[in-house]
Amino acid sequence: MNYQIACIPGDGIGPEIVREARKTLDAVAARFGHTFTYTELLLGGAAIDRVGVPLPDETVSGAKSADAVLMGSIGGNTSTSPWYQLPPQLRPEAGLLGIRKALGLFANLRPAFLYKELAGACPLKDNLIEGGFDILIMRELTGGLYFGERNTVTENGIRKATDTLVYDENEIRRIAIKGFEIARKRRKKVTSVDKANVLDSSRLWRAVVNEVAKDYLDIELDHMLVDNAAMQLVRDPKQFDVVLTENMFGDILSDEASMITGSIGMLPSASLNETAFGLYEPSHGSAPDIAGMNKANPIATILSASMLLRYSLNLQTEADALDQAVEKVLQDGYRTGDIFSEGCQKVGTDEMGTLIAERI
């Protein structure tokens, strides 16, 4: 089969880690008889430098014509980069928000998986992580507090800021359906996280999730308040399978989950629309301080490529092969600097990509 993949290298270490992900995808194609055709697109700081805007029209049209998008990291150092002297709508992150909206990407998937080889890097006690954990946080991406009306005013000499948290039932229903569908491919459990004891938006969220659950009687559903969920992630992470939640809660909980895996350099993500189309990127930032130094960990981007195979191209066996190749390299003791420990062999970005490609 021939598949069209749009690649957005992005900023900082982005070009390096996307290059290694492509290397592993090419190894998958060679083993399983596929052809991946890549189109390179501009976004973020790289686009600002080249054409003056963070999201060129050509990037949107190029992404829409592809089967999926593989992206590196966007942005730079906010204290030193000239990009952050620009108005907010012209900064790199505006391009990221813009492409999510243009492509209708409403479901963000962030796995938090603990490899037994990296258990020593997990900050939790050994008895809490024995046997590892495998969590998928599903965050609604286009609604809620981040997209509601906002304003800052001065009244009677006092500054006042307002942010509005809005969800309608259709926005909640579509993310809930995604969550239950993906849970069917995993361990068949959904934990819906809200703040229904305080917020009207959360009470609607819980009601709609319960309605959707009636069509998925094979899936176990429980509800958890967000403050308790934050505590439970560090108290007993193994209890979770799919965590379904709204935009701001998902933003916070997914970062918490990333830290209990030992390194954010290991964590992929996917953003999906209502079809099989998705944008795949690492959860970490652009790390401009190590850009071009062959130090970046490409595994999060390589695992994002695995998610691309699984969710957009429906190539489950190929995705499994790539995941297993990553695990084999870790078992063989190879580490980039961020996950290095005594007794392992330290390698650079390009060598890590090559080692994984060789094991597919």
Q: Is 189 a catalytic residue?
A: no
* Whether 16 contacts 296, CB under 8 Å: yes
Write the DSSP symbol of residue 195.
-
**Strand ranges (E), 210-341:** 220-225, 242-245, 268-272, 278-282, 334-335
End-to-end CA distance of the chain: 18
- Say which amino acid occupies 128: L
Which entry of 26, 134, 163, 255 is annotated as an active-site residue?
Answer: 255
Cα–Cα distance between 229 and 232 in angstroms, integer? 5
64: left (phi over 0), alpha (psi -120 to 50) or beta: alpha
- Cα-Cα-Cα-Cα dihedral sign, residues 83, 247, 67, 22: positive
Residues 6+ apart with CB under 8 A from 275: none
Tell me the CB-side half-sphere exposure of residue 148, using CA atoms within 13 A.
Answer: 13
Q: Is 227 a catalytic residue?
A: yes
Q: Give, to the nearest 10 degrees, the angle between helix 316-331 and helix 349-358.
A: 120
Which entry of 57, 200, 227, 236 is annotated as an active-site residue?
Answer: 227
Which entry of 11, 195, 216, 334 is annotated as an active-site residue?
Answer: 195
Q: Is 163 a catalytic residue?
A: no
Q: Is 84 a catalytic residue?
A: no
In degrees rounded to 5, what are phi and psi of residue 303? -70, -30
- Say which amino acid occupies 177: I
Which single residue is written with the structure tokens 């952050």? 84
Tell me the CB-side half-sphere exposure of residue 315, using CA atoms within 13 A.
Answer: 26
Which entry of 3, 251, 311, 338 is annotated as an active-site residue?
Answer: 251
In degrees rounded to 5, what are phi and psi of residue 199? -100, 135
Which entry of 38, 146, 188, 295 is annotated as an active-site residue?
Answer: 146
Cite the active site residues. Answer: 146, 195, 227, 251, 255
